[in-house]
Amino acid sequence: MGSTRKAADWLKERAFNYLLLWKSGPRRVKRVLDSRRIGRSSNCNHLPARRIRVASVQMRLELVGSATQYAEKIYRLTREAVERGAQLIVFPEYTGIPLVGFLPGLEKLAAGTTMQGALDTMVGGDVKAADVFRVLAPAVRRIYETTFAELSRRFGVYIIAGSAVLPDETGEVRNYGHFFGPDGLLIGRQAKVHLMPEEAAWGLSPGEGFQVFDTLLGRIALPVCMDATYFETFWIVAQAGAEMVAIPSANPEPYNLWMALRGIWPRVQESQVIGIGSSMVGEFMGLAFTGRSSVLAPLELTPDRTGVIAQAATFDQEEVVVADVDLGALAQLRQEAPISGGFNIALYKKYLPMAYLKHGRP
């Protein structure tokens, strides 16, 4: 009996893997996009330039059951941004999560429970969300990467594709931001370095460093959501030359101006960069995601001294925010008033290394 059960489990696993691979074939994504007859835009024809048009997508988080459905949704949002002239389009955190809908039965549970709660119901205890992400990774990776790479190439624009939870070559599961160029190639990935407590509980691992990508648009970094809670993140990328910092986010809390103001806005002010915050919205797995996608700059560069160049009108609806950013004016501000000029380096050396290690907080 034991060997029969083992054989059955093996066959089930094989069948599930075949199903995933079959459902996630890149041809499905390409077929949808072919049917849309996408014409390459001229948005990125005259680069480099010091004035850049950026779009921040506010996207509704909802499960999809097919690659076709996913490609359709991302296409629709990308097209709106491209038609409004965007050269760089930033999607929110967890754009890969809708593909968890490939897990049979999850769609029925998604409305009213947490991810861990759903897993406990479906497969019993001991299984962490990271395990599920690891199992689904081959399918998620194929659909996610194909969709954003194809849209970047076909429209001829830069896309920061939000993030997808994927294992690395060692099996550690991380929340990766992805950045595609107008040739459809992956410019780079950025793992989230500072996890939310929930993500740590899911079994995710944090990233180990930040990168700045040098492109024809300018130097761009893409830390993820919680990374913007820490000034250290922006210090590192700004001093490594980042002019624009995109923060794909997914905040599971009721919208409140002041709560929402705690991430990217103060970091932009501290570090003198252009900020592009992109928010996931909607009800998902018992959580209400809210946020207002925005394009931000130091107060000195916004005539009304608010630090906001453009912002979504709502905090719970899908929208695309488009704005022009002036990297020339940013460079001038940084040259005339470099924030780093007042550093007290001796003080930092004296206190910071030990203080980080010895603090007694929970």
Please answer whether residues 296 and 90 qualify as being in contact, where contact means their C-beta atoms are separated by less than 8 angstroms: no
Number of residues that bind another protein (CB under 8 A): 62
Question: Smallest gap, in angstroms, from Cβ of residue 152 to another protein?
Answer: 29
- Contact residue for another protein among 270, 283, 318, 326 (CB under 8 A): 270
Question: Smallest gap, in angstroms, from Cβ of residue 228 to another protein?
Answer: 10
Residue 338 interacts with another protein (CB under 8 A)? Answer: yes
Residue 332 interacts with another protein (CB under 8 A)? Answer: no
SS3 93: coil
Q: Which stretch binds another protein (CB under 8 A): 11-19, 126-134, 136-144, 258-266?
A: 258-266
Q: Provide the Cα torsion 142, 147, 148, 152; round to 10°.
A: 130
Q: State which of positions 160-219 bind another protein (CB under 8 A).
A: 193-195, 197, 200, 206, 208-210
- Contact residue for another protein among 45, 121, 239, 317 (CB under 8 A): 239
How buried is 255 (Cβ within 10 angstroms: 0-12 exposed, 13-18 middle, 19+ buried)? Answer: middle
SS3 36: coil
Tokens found for residue 279: 């928010």
Among 127, 61, 136, 68, smallest CA distance to 102 is for 136
Question: Smallest gap, in angstroms, from Cβ of residue 121 to another protein?
Answer: 26
Question: Smallest gap, in angstroms, from Cβ of residue 186 to another protein?
Answer: 23
- Contact residue for another protein among 78, 114, 269, 278 (CB under 8 A): 269
Closer Cβ to another protein, 87 or 251, answer by number: 251
Among 55, 95, 94, smallest CA distance to 71 is for 95
Closer Cβ to another protein, 79 or 230, answer by number: 230
Residue with tokens 């995933």, as numbered in its chain? 20
Residue 344 interacts with another protein (CB under 8 A)? Answer: yes
Q: Which ranges of the chain would DSSP assign to H, the alpha helix?
A: 2-23, 26-35, 67-83, 106-109, 115-123, 129-155, 197-202, 231-239, 257-260, 264-271, 327-336, 345-358
Distance of alpha carbon 174 from alpha carbon 355, whole angstroms: 27
186 DSSP assignment: E
How many residues are given for the chain?
362
Residue 248 interacts with another protein (CB under 8 A)? Answer: no
Q: Which stretch binds another protein (CB under 8 A): 31-39, 143-151, 279-287, 301-309?
A: 301-309
Residue 298 interacts with another protein (CB under 8 A)? Answer: yes
- Contact residue for another protein among 300, 326, 329, 331 (CB under 8 A): 300
Question: Smallest gap, in angstroms, from Cβ of residue 8 to another protein?
Answer: 42
Closer Cβ to another protein, 145 or 319, answer by number: 319
Q: Give phi and psi for 265, each to the nearest 5.
A: -55, -55
Closer Cβ to another protein, 110 or 193, answer by number: 193
Residue 27 interacts with another protein (CB under 8 A)? Answer: no
Please answer whether residues 59 and 318 qualify as being in contact, where contact means their C-beta atoms are separated by less than 8 angstroms: yes
Distance of alpha carbon 271 from alpha carbon 298, whole angstroms: 8
- Contact residue for another protein among 18, 104, 299, 328 (CB under 8 A): 299
Please answer whether residues 222 and 180 qualify as being in contact, where contact means their C-beta atoms are separated by less than 8 angstroms: no
- Contact residue for another protein among 122, 230, 288, 318 (CB under 8 A): 230
Closer Cβ to another protein, 4 or 344, answer by number: 344
Tokens found for residue 131: 């395990």
Q: Which stretch binds another protein (CB under 8 A): 73-81, 217-225, 229-237, 277-285?
A: 229-237
Residue with tokens 């990774």, as numbered in its chain? 137
Question: Smallest gap, in angstroms, from Cβ of residue 147 to another protein?
Answer: 30
The crossing angle, in degrees rounded to 10, of helices 26-35 and 129-155 is 40
- Chain contacts with another protein (rule: CB under 8 A): 193-195, 197, 200, 206, 208-210, 226, 229-232, 235-236, 239, 256-259, 261-262, 265-266, 269-270, 298-300, 304-308, 311, 336-353, 355-362
